[in-house]
């Protein structure tokens, strides 16, 4: 039997005048670990400490059996084999895109095939002769990703790589990040405060608060926890893994989920494709019977597990639909009229299901 690849173990501390980082984490050897949290919670500091860029950081850091830091060892940043991409790509301005890629690749001593592989995967071919100053923000970030990846990093560390881009550019780059996630065995640490990116990319989610881990675990488990601040936000959502059953030819996919069959607009993925769905709490309402006279396509049986008041005066409902947690929002008046209470069997009417991957 082959041993599972050893994962990532870290315990890092750092003290500043008004801030202390004290983080202990075990992360899987593969997949995307998203570090999520409010501004000032220490996300970037943690990433920089991992990369060796915070000289005051103390502690231990082991990745796949390699020690980057402990009481006796402290590898300098260039020996950690961390590929780092920041919000603003710092490309070398006097070199073409190609030479920017080559620069890191040569220093890392990686095989030629790796250069070509990432040029193809990130569609960098048409950009190779261009100087960085002529690239759009999205193109620069793609080149920065390429430059990090051609060095064959042990760990790819991304610090808000999309936050300087507008929504359209972000939507262009996300599929490349998904391709990296799908096609490499390189683990990713992805720092963001954007829920959309966290729900779309995370396999593992770490929620930081004031320099400490509030919770860490498999993404769906953390995202669907109703007792975390995430659940109270305006854009609170449940995240569901599904598998494509078919397509109606008009842009509507049929999806198999633990809650039953759901429909979502999206590309005609072949049957069997695994996808991730996001259902916003504000798009879910409840009824006591399964209405047939409604335009809502997605109606699934559920059990009401808890009701809690929201700051905006509405009520948040926690539902279980075939083992799936779902959040719904209703007014106090509706709750009274329907006599909503814990344990009640209801029908969850889902107005919109967003396909994420």
Choose between 2 and 18: whose C-beta lies nearer to ligand ATP. Answer: 18
- Three-state SS at 353: coil
b/e sequence 104-142, b meaning 16+ C-beta within 10 Å: bbeeeebeeeebebbbebbebeebeeeebeebebbbbbb
Distance of CA 135 to the CA centre of its chain: 26
Q: Quick check: 44 binds ligand ATP (CB under 6 A)?
A: yes
Least distance CB 7 / ligand ATP (angstroms): 23
**Rounded least distance, CB 96 to ligand ATP, Å:** 31
Q: Which of 268, 222, 239 is nearest to 356 (CA)?
A: 239
Cα torsion 41, 42, 43, 44: sign: positive
- Tell me: does residue 43 bind ligand ATP (CB under 6 A): yes
Q: For ligand ATP, which residue of 31, 37, 266, 325 counts as binding (CB under 6 A)?
A: 37
Q: How far is the CB of 91 from ligand ATP (least distance, A)?
A: 21
Least distance from ligand ATP to the Cβ atom of residue 184, Å: 25
- Alpha-carbon distance of 237 to 326, in angstroms, equals 8
Nearest CB to ligand ATP, comparing residues 45 and 238: 45
Q: Does 16 bind ligand ATP (CB under 6 A)?
A: yes
Smallest distance, ligand ATP to C-beta of residue 292, A? 47
CA-to-CA dists, residue 179 to 60, 120, 175, 184, 232, angstroms: 31, 12, 6, 8, 31
**Is residue 161 within the footprint of ligand ATP (CB under 6 A)?**
no
Site for ligand ATP in 70-129 (CB under 6 A): none
Q: Which stretch binds ligand ATP (CB under 6 A): 3-11, 38-46, 135-143, 333-341?
A: 38-46
Tokens of 69: 């830091």
52 is an interface residue for ligand ATP by CB under 6 A: no
| 339 binds ligand ATP, rule: CB under 6 A | no
Find all residues with CB under 8 Å of 58, minimum gap 6, and list them. 12, 13, 14
Name the residue nearer to ligand ATP (CB basis): 43 or 276: 43
Residue number with CB closer to ligand ATP (16 or 332): 16
CA distances from 183 to 28, 50, 176, 177 (A): 16, 24, 10, 10
- Which of these segments, 15-23, 217-225, 233-241, 280-288, binds ligand ATP (CB under 6 A)? 15-23
Work out whether 42 is an interface residue with ligand ATP (CB under 6 A): yes
Q: From the CB of 192, what's the least distance to ligand ATP, in Å?
A: 8
User: Could you say whether residue 45 binds ligand ATP (CB under 6 A)?
Assistant: yes
What is the DSSP annotation of 113-157?
Answer: HHHHHHHHHTT-GGGTTS-GGGS-HHHHHHHHHHHHHTT--SEEE
- Tell which positions 188-207 bind ligand ATP, by CB under 6 A: 193
Interacting stretch for ligand ATP, rule CB under 6 A, among 34-42, 93-101, 115-123, 246-254? 34-42
Residues that bind ligand ATP (CB under 6 A): 16, 18-19, 37, 39-45, 193
């Amino acid at each position: 039997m082959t041993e599972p690849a050893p994962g990532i173990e870290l315990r890092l501390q750092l003290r500043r005048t008004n801030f202390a980082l004290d983080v202990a984490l075990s992360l899987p050897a593969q997949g995307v670990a998203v570090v999520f949290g409010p501004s000032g919670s220490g996300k970037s500091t943690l990433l920089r400490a991992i990369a060796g860029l915070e000289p005051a950081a103390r502690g231990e850091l082991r990745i796949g059996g390699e020690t980057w830091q402990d009481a006796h060892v402290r590898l300098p940043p260039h020996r950690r084999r961390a590929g780092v991409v920041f919000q603003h790509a710092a490309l070398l301005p006097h070199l073409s895109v190609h030479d920017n890629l080559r620069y890191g690749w040569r220093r890392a001593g990686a095989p030629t095939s790796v250069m070509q592989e990432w040029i193809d995967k990130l569609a960098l071919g048409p950009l190779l002769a261009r100087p960085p100053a002529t690239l759009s923000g999205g193109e620069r970030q793609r080149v920065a990703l390429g430059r990090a990846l051609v060095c064959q990093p042990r760990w790819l560390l991304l610090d808000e790589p999309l936050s300087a881009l507008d929504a359209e550019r972000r939507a262009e780059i996300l599929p490349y990040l998904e391709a990296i996630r799908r096609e490499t065995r390189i683990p990713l640490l992805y720092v963001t405060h954007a829920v959309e990116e966290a729900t779309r990319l995370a396999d593992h989610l770490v929620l930081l608060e004031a320099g400490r881990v509030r919770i860490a675990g498999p993404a769906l488990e953390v995202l669907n926890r109703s007792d975390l601040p995430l659940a109270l936000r305006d854009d609170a959502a449940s995240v569901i893994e599904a598998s494509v059953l078919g397509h109606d030819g008009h842009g509507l996919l049929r999806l198999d989920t633990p809650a039953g069959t759901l429909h979502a607009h999206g590309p005609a993925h072949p049957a069997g494709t695994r996808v991730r769905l996001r259902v916003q709490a504000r798009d879910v309402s409840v009824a006591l019977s399964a209405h047939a006279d409604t335009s809502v396509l997605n109606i699934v049986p559920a059990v009401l597990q808890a009701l809690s008041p929201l700051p905006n005066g509405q009520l948040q409902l926690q539902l279980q639909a075939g083992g799936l947690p779902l959040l719904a929002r209703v007014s106090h008046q509706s709750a009274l009229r329907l006599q909503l209470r814990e344990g009640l069997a209801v029908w969850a009417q889902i107005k919109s299901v967003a396909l994420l991957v």
